[in-house]
Structure 1
Amino acid sequence: MMNTIHFLGRFHPLLLHLPIGFVLLAFVMELWRRWRRREGWEKPIRFALFLSMLSAIVAAALGYCLSLEGGYEAALLGRHQWAGFAAAALAVAAWRLRSNQRWAFPILTLNVVVITLAGHFGGMLTHGKQYLLEYAPAGISRILGSESRETLPAVGKLDSAVVYSAFIHPILERKCAGCHNPDKAKGRLLLQEAATLMKGGEHGSPIQPGKPWESLLVSRIILPETTEGHMPPQGLPQVSSEELALLQWWIAAGADTAVTASQVEIPEAILAILETKVNNAWRILARQATPPSARTLRMLQQAGIPVGPIAQESPLVEARLSYDTALTTQKLRMLRKIAPQLVSLDLSHTNAAGDMLDVLSSLPNLIELNLSHTAASDASLHSLRKARHLESLNLYGTAVTDAGLEQLKALPGLKKLYTWQSQATPAGIEALQRARPELEIWNGWERDTTFRQVQLKAPVISAEKELFEDSVAVALELNFGQVDIRYTLDGSEPDSSSLSYSGPIVLTKTTRLRTRAYKELWTPSEIADKQFVRVRYRPQAVALAKAPDERYSGRRGRVLYDFKKGTERFSDGEWAGWQGENVQATFDLGRVVPVSSVTVGALEDTGAWIFFPRGIAVWGSTDGKGWQPATTAGYPETEKQYSARTRNFTESFSPIEARYVKVEVKGQLHNPAWHPNPGGPSWVFLDEILVE
């Protein structure tokens, strides 16, 4: 009986929006009728009221069934239930008393208020009390008496930081506490405090110190998103690969809630992640800023100001005006429109000088400023007195003297200063160094260091798809002026003599495209790399020697030939995973055809114990009995921690005639020695095995 009640209760989230919609529809139609004094609206309003009554009664009944599952904070649940029952009663009254001129509209108005409160209380039950205001600006949160959960952890110095409170608790708070808090204790598990975390819930403690893969916390996170039991539930913000790596490392290190970073061994890969969590200007401003509007960015770009976000989904922006010798004061003043978000400005090799640089005083959030080879002077530096976040200042080849350096002592955040070929004397530089011993001052020609702040970004490889049947057009994009983009199509490393990009590249065969950006006096960009695979044959079926892990079955192996690339999330349902073993798949092409290459699509996420293949072997057969070796290849072991990434491994060979193609993918099998959990059974994740 209770199972039936619970089953019916699960329909409450499906239907709860119907009464809200119908009540609001009736209310809006009634307002419109009264304002415009229109006739003929009575029947539609009555019909909307009837539907709101019916759906409100059903939603309230199903909500009661759902509440019997438990796991909800009693007081808040009570408010939600009574508001829901009241909304249903008012819906009945609004329909029954529609003809009463005195009470019809007041009852309908009251129902709008009550059903809104019921919805708000329900949202608090399912998402936590802070859900509505979680990302609200600080001013709005203060007015409403709430504090956003997106506050910076108090991490000033890494060594003294308590690992749990500084790095682990924020992950649980952001990604887990919405369902495991005093208001909604799913599974009777509370994750807001260390004590309740270690105590656990109805399934025991989610933490097994020293055993991350046996810990329920980790095992639930790594389940495919579409699997029941995956946490956080599908549709909510998911745990990133870096966050998962931190959780696994902390549990493997003993899950001590009081240990500091200096008291525990930190692998290099984990250290790199932790250092990004320490408070700095970039993080502070990113939390405070709101992204500039697309209209504003477009207007600046049309005015000849190359501007864009510093990283994907970041609200902070950078402007690169280098080598623009026709700058005007009016053009620079346009930067004020993005002053709250502008953190990086490059004016090198421009005609910026004198009063033009006064605009710097209205850009208080600059973190990086490049004035090299401009007419910047001591007077120009006076405009930086408000730049309390400024960390890097390039004065190479300017007229700045010792008097200008004296002004820089007042910049609290300055970390790097470049003064080569300026008018500053060795004595002036030495005096500044004594006053600011932590400041790195570069006063000589060391290209790898002096210009490391101005390395070009890698071009973005843009195409409609990576798997194609006939041809695909590929564009190389870089939001930066006068840049020379070079590329190769044979997998070799591009240099300044490689093919020069001038427009979309049309590919008609499997190709590994690599590209790099060049610009005079700039450090070349990193190499961007992407492989495009031509799909020539579509297998009729695939036979696996060993089935993938049931948690990552990839629709029983069909993801290996469905021609849909998986994302960088191993739990997205588009990957098949095997743990601690090699993979052997035999493809039936349906007929004998010439075969000359095989491409294996793989995922690597070292924090989740997932590694690229160590080798591939291919055989062909016309009858599925006698097998002809086609090729074998080996790949080096991954030598350090990487965030999630994908890669296509293509092996070409002399053409063979085959209907059946057998592919063996050799996995890493065990985590390498450098891994936070060396020797543990590693995974190999595959999405596509393509035959050409």
Structure 2
Amino acid sequence: MHLRFRVFAEQLLVVSNIFILFLLLFESKLVIPAWLQTIGRMHPLILHFPIVILLLAMLLEFFRFKPEYATNLFYRNFLQNLLLIGALFAAVTVIMGLFLSREEGYSGDTLLFHKWTGAGIFFFASIIYWVRNTNWYKAPLAKTGALLTVVALVITGHYGAALTHGNNFIWEPISSGMQITAVPLDQALIYANVIQPIFEQKCTSCHNPDKLKGELILTNPESIMKGGKSGKLLVPGNPKMSLLLQRVHLPIEVKKHMPPTGKAQLTLQEISILTLWVKGRADFKKKLTDLPATDSLRIIASAFLQPATQEEEYDFPAVDDEKVAELNSDYRTILPLARESPALAVNIYNSAAYSVKQLDELSEIKKQVISINLNKMPVKDADIKSITQFENLNKLDLNFTDVTAAGLKELASLKHLQNLTLSGTKLNFNDLKGLLPSLKSLKTVAVWETKLSAEEVVQLQKANRNLAIIGGFKDDGKNPLKLNPPQVKNNSTIFGQSLALELKHPIKGVDIRFTMDGTEPDSIKSPLFDHKTVLTKSETIKAKAYKNGWYGSDLVTFDFFKSTFNPDSVNLLAPLNRVHQAEGAKTFFDHKLGVIGANNPAWANNWAGVRDNDMAFISEFKKPVTISSLGIHYMVEEDTGIFPPELVEIWGGDNAGNLKLLTKFKAALPSKGDKPSLKTVEGKFKPQSVSYIKIVAKPLSKIPEWHRNKGKNALLLVDEMFLN
């Protein structure tokens, strides 16, 4: 490393030590703005650099005083530079981690240990760097320091993994096979042996005393009943009003769905167990055998505990690993059901690529396949014959397929089929009434989102007492919930000549009522959204969702903007604010709208801003266009000094050097205390054919007297302009 750069890096290391010490001492007083939160969230990305570099540096430091290395100039210089770089990367990682730790959901002893061991590694590496060339620093100290640093790195990594993935993340592959001890059914407790393991596997990695997402802890009964930031988690006896089940049943793409996208999802069996447990008043002490023998929770939970009470043995040999690898493809995976088990599970993906051949090609392993997942594949009745070749099949997922009762009767030949899922199929009560008695080995069948009513599920359960029929979370109109608002399905709310309006709702059977005249829609008189509305001009859509047995949703407003013309080129005539560059000149016609709030992480990506000069640019059209209006979309946040434009001028003509003023207009100023908002102001003029237009938007030169920044220049933020 060049001497000048090394001196600079060493000075940076000193500054980093002081800055990190300051952050640690005054951490409780830190308020992290959104843009720093974004930097903090890069902590998991950058942390691998100091780990690798410091591990390598400490390995070299351990052997540094060996005679063959002690006099090697390259070895000494390389090691010193490596240690310096590792310490600096560690500083960056610690700073990012401290920013990240200030976000909601991080607390407890694990965070404390991770924070101080991480900071300790940085301070310790810095000390080693500064003292390693002193006379008293000898081989024993070098080896001890290197070993301590490596141990600290391992400990810190352990605590970091516990924060992200849960306390048992590292040992889970080993302990998962031991954590469910064989519990006789007559001794099994519903909560301790059934409910708690579900929480531990799917929920507690984010909801524990050390990682308190939503201020919710799911590790003990007291905390479960207390709930979290969003309120009570359970309403004993009423699953529909229980936040736990509401969040579980949200569509997976919805932000509040739990577990979140990317985490292991609850199975149908687990959801049913939780629903039935809450319906039975969420008892934490009751035994499984305290429930009637025909109780749905007892039947399903008994099946759930089955792996803990006996280990399945198979009388067929394992398939060669090379054969399994050969049969795997982009849209078909074949995996062992468990470690060292000959049983195989088959998963088939991508409905567009599905063919029954994907099943027929598995004839060589038909004895070993005991689980097949065909969820959302276009499976027909004719394909069932190919499924019946798997003579040891135990579990079959046919959710959202095209099978009928006629085809499913073929499954009667499968003597080991115990679990069948038929959710989302077109089966009705009569279909299942005739089908289920023929599937003699079946123990559970899922029929969510079929044509069956709750009463029909009960009838089927009574007629098939040895079979657990999972009917799901039914909308029976009792204890109504409030619908969430409708959503826009269109990719963008900015359009050219026309746009077919598309609204959607994640719950089936919902009526969406909307208006375009500024009034609030009601459930009777307002137009019913029917996918036939076409927008031909800018409109404000107000919408609400309604459904029998539910409370209507809150009002939601969508602004659609017509923007007929996009310039072929845009060039700034004055610089944008250094902080609010967005996409530069492209910002004004990129069809990307910003969001309210100077502290929103998405803010800087879409907003172009000026304060000390005009927002001015010139645009060219390669072919002349006839325009008659310009709309400007801007942010108002008076509390932070973000105001509308004081004046907007539009110039146009056929020659960039000879433009005439087409119009000028102003925007209304906010009043003191107005809520932050997004506004549009439009200037209209006589239709004009132009090849060039120049737009000048002047920021407010003097903030009003009632404002704390009175008399100063206001900030003008614009994300889009609309030419028509």
Q: Normalization by structure 1: what TM-score?
A: 0.45
Q: Normalization by structure 2: what TM-score?
A: 0.43
Answer with 1 or 2: which has the greater Rg. 2
